[in-house]
Amino acid sequence: MLKRSIKRAFAALLTLIVTLATFAGSSSLMVSASETSSWNFKNSNFKSLGTISSTTTVDGLTLLATSSKTMSVKADTQTVGGTEYTYCLATGGSGSTSYRAVKVPVSGSDTIKVTMKSSGSDSRSLVVANSQGSALTKLTASSSAATVSYNYSGSSGYVYLYSENSGINIYKIQVDSNSSNSGSSSGSGSGSSSSVDTSDGTVVTSYQSLVSAISKAEQAGGGKVYVKGTSISCTGQIALSKTNAKVEIIGVQNSDGSYPVLDFNSFLQSYIGKATSDSAVGIRISGSYYTIKNLIVQKAPDNGIQIKGTSAGHNTVSNVVTRYNNDAGLQITAGAYSNKIEYVSSYRNCDVYTLGGNADGFAPKLGAGAGNSFYCCYAWDNSDDGWDSYDKSGDVTPDITYTQCACWNNGNPDVFTGKYDYDNGNALDTNLLLVQLIMKKDSSFASNYANKKFSLPTSNFIVTNVGTISISSWTGSNYDGNPNGFKMGSAYSTSSATRVFSHCLAFDNAKKGFDNNNSSVTGSFSNCVAFDNGYNYYIQPLSIKTWTNIYGFSGASGDKLPSGKSVTTPSSSNQSTIRSKVNSTKNSIISTCKSNGIPGAVYFNIY
């Protein structure tokens, strides 16, 4: 009797469920699912691999390696949480999305767990990057084995795991997926945007709400501010001045893959044809422990981002684009110290008022403090240098570290009149301030450009620091931009200052790729490449601490090198390979930026 009653109750419940589903009609039916995938390197399919020198896929996990960037699976016993691990994947060194990396399948809403340790006595960082190569986070591999986790929310597909610097031993990777499968009885559907958990912070969609949220986070002793939308019109400066702020300002990626733009154009309009000062900077950081992440910063009247002053330390700018600003894209100066700049692209910044001077891609100069570093950063098409570290007497930048950085075609005035794009078959870039001034002077300029006719106004109409001048004066011998790649200092920068370059690239800069600029700093160079510059290496007075795997070719003039140092010229076939890889990567970076994406961790892979 009891069994019969239970059966009747179950049948009634089932009928109710079916009825509710029927009445759902056109609404979507959501079915949740949970699944775990794991890869333990002690498993026989892995531990037999030994040295891995090419891309290998085992049980759905892809291990990326090359003949020169190998990984290995080796015996190594560690116990974590009562579980013994007997084999590990040894990355063997720093990686990228192309080598010494693990390609891990994800569903779109996952918890990624990695059991690992540093292969040395120091802590190291494991980068988690999305399928576009943009770094999402860094997990710490300490000197003792442990399991660390990251909650991934984004597009389904895969993520990359690789070491940022030195070797890491990985024992197990596990992905706990919580996915949702949806169906609609209407017979049609639309793509949904990737979700990001913003519950731990404040979401803003306007300039005023952004400024207010930052202030509240500062007063609270820290917090996260998430910026959503395609473009935020910024009518004034974003000033970050608190010490030990612990404030993170994070852009949320849009469903089309683009990122929010902080557009300072309305702020810029009152400064056209005028000198600017720090009050005209877009984002000005004079405090410490701020993070700017996943944002595009453009059209500020002065620097896009400025980090300045002896209180400005331990700030991070990550996965950011700075462009079309009326001075350097990003500047570090006046004692600002221990700031980490990573995955930043800086391009087409130009100071029209000073005839192209000042507007570098990156400017760690004029007495920047100690410990500032650039990792995986790119500078191109800026009106002055790619990187500039010019110093004045008694105010010298003591050290700078550049890793996996590249710069090209800086200091070219034709970029800013539109002629460079015209000659290369590109569309007119109407974001350039000088092009806007030309279009205002000649209403037919844009239509002529589109009809394959390039003609510049000849009258005096550009207001500068030397008066109102013509295009020919702005682009001619008076042009004040410097077509250099990495400029290391000035005559006041002596051997007590250090510049460390690792896996850096300079090409297509009309004067110099690597330029000491009258300095005599102490330089360390490893795995660097320069080609098609006026001088590839112009560094004769430098004291050299490290000089390993330095390559160059096709410079217009012979290198100027310290005594006893030489540059290796690759064979013709290798030169062709380098050019091909560089052009492909360059074009990918530029294309991503044009679509309001952020290139993130993209590597040239030529070293």
Mean pLDDT value of segment 42-55: 90
pLDDT at 195 (0 to 100): 58
Q: Is 353 left (phi over 0), alpha (psi -120 to 50) or beta?
A: alpha
| Residue 334, beta-bridge partner list | none
Checking if the pLDDT of 489 tops 80, the result is: yes
> What pLDDT digit, counting tens, does each position of 316-326 carry?
999 999 999 99
How much is the average pLDDT of 379-408? 96
Instruction: Please state, rounded to an integer, the average pLDDT across all residues of the chain.
Output: 90
| Residues 1 and 7: beta-carbon distance below 8 Å | no
Q: Over range 468-493, report the average pLDDT.
A: 96
CB 376 within 8 A of CB 403: yes
3 state DSSP class of 552:
strand
Over range 129-147, report the average pLDDT: 89
Which residue did the predictor score with more confidence, 21 or 535? 535
Q: Is the pLDDT of residue 435 over 80?
A: yes
What is the set of domains in the chain, with CATH numbers?
33-178 (2.60.120.260), 201-413+479-594 (2.160.20.10), 414-475 (no CATH)
CA distance 437 to 448: 16
Q: What is the CA radius of gyration of the chain?
A: 27
Contact 512, 492 (CB under 8 A): no
* DSSP string for 324-377: S-SS-SEEEETT-BS-EEEEEEEE----TTTTT-S--SEEE-SS--S-EEEES-
Annotate 391-400 with b (16+ C-beta within 10 A) or e (fewer).
beeeebbbbb
Mind listing the pLDDT tens digit for each residue in 228-267? 999 999 999 999 999 999 999 999 999 888 999 999 999 9
| One-letter amino acid for residue 12 of the chain | A
Question: What does the pLDDT read at residue 48?
Answer: 87
pLDDT of residue 183 exceeding 60: no
Q: Tell me the pLDDT tens digit for each residue of 549-559.
A: 999 999 999 99
Mention every residue, 6+ apart, whose C-beta is less than 8 A from residue 178. Answer: 32, 33, 34, 107, 109, 110, 111
Strand partners, 467: 464, 465
| Per-residue burial over 54-81, b = 16 or more CB atoms within 10 Å of its CB, e = otherwise | eeeebeebebbbeeebbbebeebebebe
The answer to whether 379 and 346 are in contact (CB under 8 A) is: yes
Contact (CB, 8 A) for 586 and 121:
no
Prediction pTM value? 0.72
